[in-house]
Structure 1
């Protein structure tokens, strides 16, 4: 079900024209996935987690371990970057949508899953 939502979001956002650079680095190609992961990592820790108090409480930390799988990164003008935030007792799947045109990032998320 969540993949259907993500597919719809990607379809809608894929019609946005693309711009190419953030700090002089073109990150909207797959050669630069490390830079894209770094941008999302920084945004998630510095801008999102301080505002998402409930997520931090359930995860048990404001600095969860972020686990990215480069083979699941997809898209062109809007890039889908799924990752897992692993806390002390729970983990949660997030989906970052990076828009190449302006470097904005939006997030969607799944449910919390207890760690075993």
Structure 2
């Protein structure tokens, strides 16, 4: 009887570990809502993306903080590199950390109020 109970406890502990691994492997959410921005200029779009990344995204993205080597990276957008129009913008966001520099491709749908970030490259 003791061996059977011991085996059940080990099986439950193993299943618990598998659940934790599965949860850890889930990708971080890379899409969020933002205020509508259909009348924004490219300079305003650049500022919006930079502010959103630094205030709302990087604090939540542990893998990115680890890759960059900091929770307070330097981020910038060159307004002349922004493509698209007032409905949908594509923005290359450059980020510098202690370990490396990365670029995120950001899509900003001003009509829907949605921002999406690629994984950094």
Count of residue pairs the alignment pairs up: 85
CA–CA separation in structure 1 for the residues paired with 2:79 and 2:45: 10
Segments of 5+ residues of structure 1 without an aligned counterpart are 1-20, 112-116
Output the TM-score relative to the length of structure 2: 0.63
Residue equivalent to 2:9: none
CA–CA separation in structure 2 for the residues paired with 1:68 and 1:40: 8
User: Per residue, is there more strand in 1 or in 2?
Assistant: 1
Residue 97 of structure 1 contacts residue 106 of structure 1 at CA under 8 Å; is this kept in 2?
Answer: yes
CA–CA separation in structure 2 for the residues paired with 1:87 and 1:93: 11
Structure 1 runs (4+) greater than 3 angstroms displaced: none
Output the TM-score relative to the length of structure 1: 0.65
User: Per residue, is there more helix in 1 or in 2?
Assistant: 2
Alignment deviations for residues 21-40 of structure 1 (CA, whole Å, 9 cap, x no partner): 54xx711xxxx112111111
Pair 1:60-2:69 in alignment: yes
Segments of 5+ residues of structure 2 without an aligned counterpart are 1-35
Q: What value does the CA root-mean-square deviation take over the aligned residues?
A: 1.7
